[in-house]
Amino acid sequence: MVREFELPDVGEGVAEGELLRWRVEPGDSVSEDQPVAEVETDKAVVDVPSPVNGVVEELRAAEGETVPVGDVIIVFQLDGEDELDGTEPTPADDATADSGHQTDEAPTQPAEDTQSEPAVTQRVQVAAPPSVRRLARELGVDISNIADSSLGRITESDVRAHANTGSHSSTQEQSNQQTAAAERQKQQAPSTQSVSSVQARETTDRATTVAVPKTRHVAAEEGIDLDTVPTDERKDGEPFVTLEAVQEYAKAQQQAQKKDKEAVAERAAADESARPESRTPYNGIRQTIGAAMTESKSTAPHVTHQDEVDVTALVDARSTLRQEAEEHDIRLTYMPFVMKACAAALQENPQINVSLDEANEEIVEKQYYNIGVATATDAGLLVPVVEDVDAKGLLEVASETNEKTQRARERSLSPEEMRGGTFTISNIGGIGGEYGTPIINQPESAILALGEIKKKPRVVEADGEETIEPRHVMTLSLSFDHRVLDGADAARFTNSVQKYLRNPNLLLLE
């Protein structure tokens, strides 16, 4: 007879566990409660005990495998007749099994001329779980003498009921054993606190209850302990519970549980109404952005290098060129200057303009300079890419950037126009931010965040003299992938960017 054993619920709320180690192998003999496996959940490492005495027939899970609760992990071959009929093997059985011939103590066949020696009675296999057989042995009950129920399986209630009838001789020791077994059963039974206090008082001192097998099985299906069902009827001096009483009691429990759930739901609804909320589906572009950010942050070890740069000359240059740009119907912001400065700095620091090809374990250095501009939209952050920034003039970069960022806000940007970038710039200063730790736009290796340009006091040296003057200062935050770049690489690149932003006239030489 084989027994499949499922991974039990080894912890509250745990749905699965990793099988760390088998403690047994196929062919090993095991006893009940012997640890057979070591399982790790998100809360603890626990031993899984064997539910039976038997022999390991098959291991259904491999070490290191994550197994859902309820999946079969091991198969046992149960120990012979002890599991089949619940009786201990007799010396005659042992002798017969070992030698295959008769002994003086227990002949396998009755002598034809001797009427005083009893014939060996053929054993009848009785369906009962090991826990029921243990209880029968504790109470001294021959489980084969118990009539099976309508469902063909002996339960602990059957054993206790049989122990309380006249068909079984009772001693004071057996009575004590019955009481102890009943107390254990009560501790394991489902809670029935939903019954009324009157019903509870009626069943407080009951240790045993008599009922027909069908009643016991209905009670088991409903999760009801018969000792808690109120009754005034008696049978052989013991409390007797009818099927109707069990059904009525179960119905009362269900109604009480339903009321409890409704009360909890009403309280939850009241709490929610006291705190008004609105919900928006997390899907579409917002979900795609979230997935990309999660992948980037969990894949690349991010480090952020931060610094300040005096951009007073840049402010003056932009002010001078703005009117010229407007004559060409181009709105000139600081972004094109920064894009050109970054393209020049990438040429000076090619180790920044790279991507990591994990599949081929290669660092890919790009010889083109496509700059992405992070753009806030109603749908989330989109990154249009301006290609070959190094080869385009300032006004051309400004015109293309304005056009693509506008179409990004209008959700008319094509996916191809957001691919192929080698470096990204995010302007957090546009909404008043100063420093940030931007997340890298994979598969790039770095991203630069621009802070708000603010007037700050700075020491200025001129004609050998130092004075404190108000200057326009912008903050820079460069996040980089520490798998392919080091802090020194980030510092050198940032210094190059600062050089061009402090003196934008240098961009004319590019």
* Catalytic center residues: 482
Integer Cα distance of 203 and 249 in angstroms: 13
**247: which residues sit within 8 A by CB, 6+ positions away?**
218
Whole-angstrom distance, CA of residue 162 vs CA of residue 210: 9
Q: What is the 3-state secondary structure (H, E, C) of 439-453?
A: CCCCCCCEEEEECCC
Length of the chain: 510
Contact 451, 476 (CB under 8 A): yes
In which order are the strands placed within the sheet that holds 2-6? Answer: 2-6, 72-78, 54-59, 29-30
d(C-alpha 119, C-alpha 109), whole Å? 7
The closest of 404, 453, 397 to 427, measured between CA atoms, is 453
Supply angle C-alpha 234, 239, 240, rounded to 5. Answer: 70
Residue 42: CB atoms within 10 A of its CB come to 11
What single-letter amino acid sits at 316?
Answer: D
What is the DSSP code (8-state) at residue 469? E
- Which residues are registered as beta bridge partners of 98? none
- CA dist., res. 453 & res. 432, Å (int): 9
Between CA 356 and CA 445 the distance in angstroms is 8
Phi and psi (nearest 5°) for 31? -110, 160
User: Residue for token digits 């660092």?
Assistant: 363
Amino acid 494 reads T
Q: 251, 297, 270, 232: which is closest to 447 by C-alpha?
A: 297
Confirm if 484 and 294 have CB atoms less than 8 A apart.
Answer: no
- Burial (0-12, 13-18, 19+ Cβ within 10 Å), 211: buried
To the nearest 10°, report the CA torsion of 35, 39, 44, 48: -30
| Secondary structure (DSSP) of 244-280 | HHHHHHHHHHHHHHHHHHHHHHHHHHHHHHHS-----
